[in-house]
Amino acid sequence: MPADFNEYFKNKMDQEESPPQKSFNDFGKKATIIYVLLALAVLLIVAKPYTIIQSGEVGIKVTAGKFDPIPLEPGMHFYIPGIQKIIKVDTKVRIINYKSEKDTAFGNLNEGIIEKPAITVLDARGLPVSIDLTVQYRLNPANAPQTIATWGLSWEEKLINAVVREVVRNVIGRYKAEELPIKRNEIAALIEQKIREKIDSFKNKPVFLESVQLREINLPPKIKEQIERVQIAKQEAQRMKYEVEKAKQEAQKRAAQAKGEAEAKKIKAQGEADRIMIEAKAKAQANKAIAQSVTEPLLRLRQIEVQGKFNEALKANKDAKIFLTPGGAVPNIWIDTKSKERAANLAQEQQ
């Protein structure tokens, strides 16, 4: 067979077999991509090289044991498993309750609330005193990586709990047990001030202190009984003082009422005396005016007028008798002789 024919036949066979081989190669490439994508999906699901940071949290990325100084904000963040990890820390307000009795009302619902036994300390005389306290605080989110790197994840025990117990022990140790209830406000303010100063003195300001509340001061039974006796005595003294003051006020009230009544009577009597005096003066002035108005000519005129009236009367009763007072110009007695009984009585009276 000629060489040219063989060459032609070989080329023909190559052309007929080339399209299927090309399709197979393309399918293989696509399958490889799909396998890679599936492998990546499985890796994401199994290895989970990401984390979601919620609001009120920050993330701390650790690469080969080294803390990234910039905290991660809320959202989704990726990391390399085996080499990197992300630590989530809570930056919301947290509470430590130091109390004598454990609160089991809410069970595990008290998120962010830590309960600890009441703080037992000694007073100035060495007597045991139990203090119930509530401390509110929150982690400084800007310096969270440095805080965790320095203090670890148990930073609350090392920063808050240790400081609170130290300050309460030092402050309560200055007072006697019986002074604690009396100076409660002073002690509460001093405890908060000292805790705030101590926490603010730490490097990088790891924690923001929100508030410190002194809830209860539990004293030894003997001291409590002694304080109760003193309180009862004070209350009794206050009651007696009140009774004395009340009696004093009542006496002052009665004295004021008596004085007022006496003043009223005095004013009334003075008014009556003034009235009588005024009336007497008025009458005296009237009499004086009348006396001044009676003159000699007036008396003579009146005598003439009266005499004329008697003369007229004698004309009608000729038996009548008239007696004149000695030295008087005006007749004083008129006797009607027609009435003999009346005349006899008048005559006897004249005798």
DSSP per-residue codes, 153-220: TTHIIIIIIHHHHHHHHHHHTTS-GGGTTTTHHHHHHHHHHHHHHHHHTSTT--EEEEEEEEEEEE--
Q: Is 216 helix (H, G, I), strand (E, B) or coil?
A: strand
Q: Where are the beta strands (DSSP E) in 186-242?
A: 207-218
- Calculate ∠ Cα 7-12-17, nearest 5°: 130
Same structural domain, 337 and 259: no
Domain that holds residue 278: 224-293
Q: Is 122 helix (H, G, I), strand (E, B) or coil?
A: strand
Q: Is residue 29 part of a domain?
A: no
Domain boundary among 254, 276, 293: 293
Q: Where are the beta strands (DSSP E) in the chain?
A: 50-53, 57-63, 66-67, 75-78, 84-90, 94-99, 113-117, 119-122, 128-139, 207-218, 321-324, 331-335
Q: Is residue 304 part of a domain?
A: yes
Same structural domain, 193 and 265: no
Same structural domain, 282 and 302: no
Contact in structure between 334 and 320 (CB atoms under 8 Å): yes
Model pLDDT, residue 348: 61
Q: Is residue 142 part of a domain?
A: yes
pTM recorded for the entire structure: 0.56
Rounded CA separation 241/97 (Å)? 43
Model pLDDT, residue 325: 54
Domain boundary among 219, 239, 271: 219
What is the CA 318 to chain-centroid distance, rounded?
112
Q: Is residue 249 part of a domain?
A: yes
Model pLDDT, residue 322: 60
Same structural domain, 105 and 186: yes
Same structural domain, 125 and 186: yes
Q: Is residue 276 part of a domain?
A: yes
Contact in structure between 330 and 304 (CB atoms under 8 Å): no
Model pLDDT, residue 129: 93
Q: Classify residue 70 by its DSSP letter.
A: S
Phi first, then psi: what are they for 68, rounded to 5°? -75, 125
Look at residues 82, 86, 98 and name the one whose alpha carbon lies nearest to residue 46: 82
Same structural domain, 161 and 146: yes
Contact in structure between 60 and 130 (CB atoms under 8 Å): no
Same structural domain, 213 and 104: yes
Domain boundary among 270, 293, 316: 293
Half-sphere exposure (Cβ direction) of 274: Cα atoms closer than 13 Å: 6
Q: Residue 64, by phi and psi: left (phi above 0), alpha (psi -120 to 50) or beta?
A: left
Same structural domain, 101 and 206: yes
Same structural domain, 336 and 279: no
Q: Is residue 313 part of a domain?
A: yes
Q: Is residue 320 part of a domain?
A: yes
Q: Is residue 61 part of a domain?
A: no
Same structural domain, 241 and 284: yes
Model pLDDT, residue 318: 62
Same structural domain, 209 and 275: no
Same structural domain, 201 and 263: no
Which regions of the chain are under pLDDT 50? 1-3, 5, 9, 17, 105-109
Model pLDDT, residue 256: 84
CATH of residue 165's domain is 3.30.479.30
Structure tokens at 13: 């066979």
Total domains in the chain come to: 3
In this structure, the number of other CB atoms found within 10 A of the CB of residue 148 comes to: 21
Model pLDDT, residue 107: 44
Bridging pattern class, strands 113-117 and 94-99: parallel
What is the CA 346 to chain-centroid distance, rounded?
101
Give Cα separations from 165 to 71, 77, 131, 331 (angstroms).
30, 39, 10, 127
Half-sphere exposure (Cβ direction) of 87: Cα atoms closer than 13 Å: 20
